Chains A and B, each alone.
Chain A
Amino acid sequence: QVQLVQSGAEMKKPGASVKVSCKTSGYTFTGHYIHWVRQAPGQGPEWMGWINPNRPATYSIKNLEDRLTLTWDTSIGTAYLELSRLTSDDTGIYYCVRPDKGDLTFWGQGSLVTVSS
């Protein structure tokens, strides 16, 4: 069965960087994109971008593209999200998601990132 297991909670100071991992199993890693979605406390989800491990290619939303780095390691079926120059507005839960025909079908459990001085 498809599974996405994410790294644990992180606490960071403003200005620091954070790297979240997403370990996949149950399918061929290069056969599907991985999307990233985040959710601030009490807010709706915000779609952030994707990786295409097969091409390879990435896409990030405009307001994050200078701080967001999406990478992956095909040999271990793992995707990574790195966000730099953190502010309190980056506090939230970060999800990796494997789509199925474009729909966000298989979700990781989420990784809580807290940015606080």
Chain B
Amino acid sequence: IQMTQSPSSLSASVGDRVTITCRASQGIAKDLGWYQQKPGKAPKLLISGASTLQLDVPSRFSGSGSGTDFTLTINNLQPEDFATYYCLQDYNYPYTFGQGTKVEIK
């Protein structure tokens, strides 16, 4: 399953709302996770099952979608949110990641 993520990068300011999308080449139900990666660190799971926020993740992050189209939204962007975000389908093997979206400071 191919995961097409867009945009590949974006510039935003603190306080902005940011939207990242991921499209699967076939239906994957809601078997999609969103991961945040900061330089020199391992990816961190933010959202599982397309929309379930992990316990330690701020509520300004949200996810939606099912089937083939998914969205990660970050409301009120904070300085610590500048990072690269990846989607990952865990519907079947092999798992596949999107190409990533780098969120940079405007």
Chain B residues within 8 Å of chain A by Cβ, number? 22
Name B's A-contacting residues (CB within 8 A).
31, 33, 35, 37, 42-45, 48-49, 54, 86, 88, 90, 93-100
Binds B, one of A7-15, A22-30, A41-49, A72-80: A41-49
Question: Distance in Å from the Cβ of B38 to the closest Cβ of chain A?
Answer: 12
For the residues of B in contact with A, the DSSP-based class is: loop
Asked if A53 is an interface residue, CB under 8 A from chain B, the answer is no
Q: Which of A44, A49, A103, A104 contacts B98 (CB 8 A)?
A: A44
Q: Which of A45, A59, A104, A110 contacts B93 (CB 8 A)?
A: A59
A103-B45 in contact given A44-B98, A46-B97 (Cβ < 8 Å): yes
User: Once bound together, how far apart are the Cα atoms of A1 and B12, in whole Å?
Assistant: 36
A105: which B residues are within 8 A, CB to CB? 45, 54
Cross-chain contact A44 with B100 (CB below 8 angstroms): yes
B99: which A residues are within 8 A, CB to CB? 44
Question: Distance in Å from the Cβ of B20 to the closest Cβ of chain A?
Answer: 13
Cross-chain contact A104 with B88 (CB below 8 angstroms): yes
Count of A-B contacts judged by CB separation below 8 Å: 49
Minimal Cβ-Cβ distance residue in B for A64? B94
Name A's B-contacting residues (CB within 8 A).
35, 37, 44-47, 49-50, 59, 61-62, 95, 101-105, 107-110
Q: Which of B31, B49, B54, B96 contacts A47 (CB 8 A)?
A: B96
B98: which A residues are within 8 A, CB to CB? 44
User: Once bound together, how far apart are the Cα atoms of A35 and B99, in whole Å?
Assistant: 19
Ordered nearest first, which 8 A-B pairs have the shortest CB separation? Answer: A107-B42, A47-B95, A103-B48, A44-B100, A102-B90, A61-B94, A103-B33, A45-B97
User: Once bound together, how far apart are the Cα atoms of A45 and B96, in whole Å?
Assistant: 9
Q: Which of A45, A61, A109 contacts B43 (CB 8 A)?
A: A45
